[in-house]
Amino acid sequence: MFNRYFEDFQTGDCWSSRGRTITETDLVSFAAWSGDWYPLHTDQEWARNTSYGQRIAHGMLVLSAAIGLTHLEPGTVAAFYGLDRVRFVAPTFIGDTIHVTYEFVEKQERENDGIVTAKLEVKKQTGQTVAAAVVKFLVNKCPVSQ
């Protein structure tokens, strides 16, 4: 889906990634790397006393993994432009398997390239959406058609 030039994106097109199981390793590694040790992610005893009853993944972990599952193709996608309306709508627990879906909703042509806007949803194995956002990519035009 992302190995296409600007001309070949159609609004309404969808794409769905492979899955990735979110593990305790991911929570520990992300807490460490990012420096965000908020106890809901890293302290089992503290998390036990919340409404979740257990540790949950960082919002930024889920969003970063989602972008990582997207596999942007260098020749066609030129840049990850930005994000809008990012909302963390349900918890991702240790052992949940997430994947990301895109629905392309808008194309904005520019002189040498174009901006493609998509609705991103991160879902888990139950079908529940855990995070949602609007994403904008800068996409190259087809070299021949320019």
Binding site for its own copies (CB under 8 A): 18-21, 23-26, 28-30, 32-40, 42-46, 55, 58-61, 63-65, 67-72, 74, 79-88, 95, 97, 125, 133
Helix (H) or strand (E) holding 99: strand 97-109
Closer residue to its own copies in complex, CB, 8/43: 43
Residue 123 main-chain phi, psi, to 5 deg: -120, 155
Distance in Å, CB of 72 to its own copies, minimum: 5
Distance CA 128, CA 21 (A): 15
Residue 141 main-chain phi, psi, to 5 deg: -80, 160
Distance in Å, CB of 57 to its own copies, minimum: 12
Tokens representing residue 26 in the block: 């991911």
Helix (H) or strand (E) holding 39: helix 39-42
Distance in Å, CB of 19 to its own copies, minimum: 4
Closer residue to its own copies in complex, CB, 61/122: 61
Distance in Å, CB of 98 to its own copies, minimum: 10
